[in-house]
Amino acid sequence: MRLMNLKKPLEMKRSDFLKLVSGGAALTAFLPPKLRAATRSNTFEPVEPVSIATWRFGLETTAEAMKVLRAGGSALDATEAGVKLCEADPKERSVGLGGRPDRDGFVTLDSCCMDHLGNIGSVAAVENVVHVSSLARAVMEKTPHVMLVGEGARQFAQEMGFPLQDLMVPDSKREWEKWRENSDYKPVVNIENHDTIGQLSLDEQGRLAGICTTSGMAFKMRGRVGDSPIIGAGLYVDGAIGAATATGHGEEVIRVVGSYRVVSEMERGFSPQEACERAVQKIYDFFERRQAGIQDTQIGFIALDKRGRTGAFALRPGFQYAVAQKGKAPELVDVRALLDA
């Protein structure tokens, strides 16, 4: 295993300083908080729309989002339209209908959303509701709260008119029954080349939004919740800076507040690509500090800034993300990784 040569996140060499200055970020990273805040742009200027999403299914979800964006729709509407395609697909084993159950045989879903103004909504451990992304948005728009979980979230879904249905499809049930023969509980890196879907969009008005949605780790302990519904971990959006979302081993993303960390690095003046790299490096550093095994762990981040620039980075090879831009077909990108196989 070879470790890619990256700068430590908390180091700032002379070359980094010059890079920040020459890239137009000037001394933002070194300013006091009040002065740094003054450098942020809180205006939302017209831009070319962009939508990006984790994994191969992002090709379809970003294409759907671009339909909304080309018609002048909002980034949040576009992102929701995209991820709902994936949630409704019974062939997807890690999102929505068709998601793998927990070790007791219950399919539970998690999701969160965030817009350019900092409005947030989240649901976790929800049973019998396919479109938890829309449910998270309903929490954001229809309640005074930011997160509902379990039976309370399902009750709210009923009150809002969401249809309830059994989420355990035959393929998932067969996988669960086979798993029960050995009950070997551990994450599988890049399982079937997909995992959580996180999607970020930028609309023509310069507004950013993001949604993260998942059925969580296969055969998890009942009640386990990962990073996906946690604002700052699985998703974070700052309309004046950019947005980020995560996929992979949720416990490790939570540990470093991963998506917020990516956006925070962009605020310091780093590009979306550099910001993702620095967040992955921090996760690796935590593994080193704890002397914990890393062989079964994969983490990936994608990021989009308010100028439409994108970036992505992973802990190990195999991660992909989709990029859709106006006038172009969605493109699947192989993501660089910190660790080589």
- pLDDT score recorded for residue 2: 56
pLDDT band at 229, cuts 50/70/90?
very high
Lowest mean pLDDT among 44-58, 185-199, 233-247: 185-199
* pLDDT higher than threshold 70 for residue 142: yes
- pLDDT score recorded for residue 44: 78
pLDDT band at 148, cuts 50/70/90?
very high
Q: Is 167 exposed, middle or buried (0-12, 13-18, 19+ CB in 10 A)?
A: buried
Beta strands in the chain (DSSP E): 2-3, 50-54, 109-115, 120-126, 147-149, 197-202, 208-214, 235-238, 242-248, 299-305, 310-314, 320-325, 331-334, 339-340
pLDDT band at 35, cuts 50/70/90?
very low
pTM: 0.88
Q: From the CB of residue 309, how many other CB atoms can be counted at a distance below 10 Å?
A: 15
User: How much is the average pLDDT of 178-200?
Assistant: 72
User: How much is the average pLDDT of 291-310?
Assistant: 94
Q: Which fold, 44-336?
A: Glutamine Phosphoribosylpyrophosphate, subunit 1, domain 1 (3.60.20)
Lowest mean pLDDT among 190-204, 214-228, 245-259: 190-204
Q: Residue 5's Cα: distance from chain center in Å? A: 25
- pLDDT score recorded for residue 277: 98
- pLDDT score recorded for residue 16: 53
User: How much is the average pLDDT of 93-111?
Assistant: 95
* pLDDT higher than threshold 70 for residue 3: no
- pLDDT score recorded for residue 243: 98
* pLDDT higher than threshold 70 for residue 6: no
Compute the distance between CA of residue 266 and CA of residue 175 in angstroms, rounded to an integer.
Answer: 41
User: How much is the average pLDDT of 4-27?
Assistant: 48
How many residues does the structure list for the chain?
341
* pLDDT higher than threshold 80 for residue 181: yes
* pLDDT higher than threshold 70 for residue 322: yes
* pLDDT higher than threshold 60 for residue 284: yes
- pLDDT score recorded for residue 326: 87
- pLDDT score recorded for residue 296: 84
User: How much is the average pLDDT of 9-28?
Assistant: 46
Average pLDDT, the chain: 89
Question: Catalytic amino acids?
Answer: 196
- pLDDT score recorded for residue 211: 98
* pLDDT higher than threshold 50 for residue 214: yes
